[in-house]
Amino acid sequence: MTSWVELPAARVDEAARLLLGWRLSANGVTVRLTEVEAYSGLGEDPASHAHRGVTNRNAVMFGAAGRLYVYQIYGMHFCANVVCGETGKAAAVLLRAGEVVDGLETARERRPAARRDSDLAAGPAKLMQVLALNRSANDTSLLDGTGPASIFPPDRKGMPIEAGPRVGVTSAHDVPWRFWISGDPTVSAYRRHVPKDRTRTR
């Protein structure tokens, strides 16, 4: 079977599907990826950070497959993406949710507000919290052991996968590039983007 690392940027949606079930380990916790979102590059995907070209922020998206692209949201939370495709063509997969399969007690300590274990990494910022990863992990490799996190193939195959619209984007939000393992309780809640009504006055 083709690995997500070998796929070109134009097939980032396929890479996203293949990443489901892979195990991401960092700082004493391992998470099995259960939900991801694909983002393409220049022009073709207005929801992507790279659609207007290279910037200091998104430069890692144009680099080698298998590196982490980490950015901050709301000035306090971090999200992680796995860079896919060939160097020079931006593509990345947002890691949306996962199941903690190792280091459960440590994960609970890092996410004391979680009511259930299935909620520990049920969202992109929560996933980063249980793994204790932040902006310092940006542009590090998941493949060669040099970075704070490493990724490993799934320990089982044949998982049923579903697809649907992406979450939290203002453009191309109906593109069905969000993928998740069907029936998995760790998948984050879907909230459809609702455009602001700019015709209303106060």
Residue-by-residue DSSP string for 161-184: EEEE--SS-SSSTTS--EEEETT-
Give the residue-averaged pLDDT of 48-71.
Answer: 85
pLDDT tens, residue by residue, 66-93: 999 999 987 789 999 999 999 988 999 9
What's the distance, CA 194 to chain centroid?
Answer: 22
Predicted confidence at residue 170, as pLDDT, reads 62
Tell me the pLDDT band of 22, cut-offs 50, 70 and 90.
very high
What CA–CA distances, in Å, run from 173 to 5, 52, 164, 168, 169?
A: 25, 17, 10, 8, 6
In a domain, 43, yes or no: yes
In a domain, 155, yes or no: no
Residue-by-residue DSSP string for 117-163: GGGTTSSHHHHHHHHT--GGGTT-BSSSS-SSEEEE--S-----EEE
How far apart are the C-alpha atoms of 22 and 34, rounded to whole Å? Answer: 8
Inform me whether the pLDDT recorded for 189 exceeds 80. Answer: no
Give the residue-averaged pLDDT of 124-141.
Answer: 96
Give the CATH number for residue 175: 3.10.300.10
Q: Which long-range contacts (CB under 8 A, 24 or more apart) does 64-67 make?
A: 64/141, 65/4, 65/5, 66/5, 66/141, 66/142, 66/143, 66/151, 67/139, 67/140, 67/141, 67/142
In a domain, 30, yes or no: yes
Total tally of structural domains belonging to the chain? 1
In a domain, 193, yes or no: no
Inform me whether the pLDDT recorded for 39 exceeds 80. Answer: yes
DSSP 89: S
What's the distance, CA 160 to chain centroid?
Answer: 19
Range of the domain at 80: 4-150+160-181
Give the residue-averaged pLDDT of 170-184.
Answer: 83
Average of per-residue pLDDT values in the chain: 87
In a domain, 189, yes or no: no
Tell me the pLDDT band of 198, cut-offs 50, 70 and 90.
very low
How far apart are the C-alpha atoms of 38 and 111, rounded to whole Å? Answer: 26
In a domain, 197, yes or no: no
How far apart are the C-alpha atoms of 202 and 187, rounded to whole Å? Answer: 38
In a domain, 174, yes or no: yes
In a domain, 94, yes or no: yes
Question: pTM score, two decimals?
Answer: 0.89
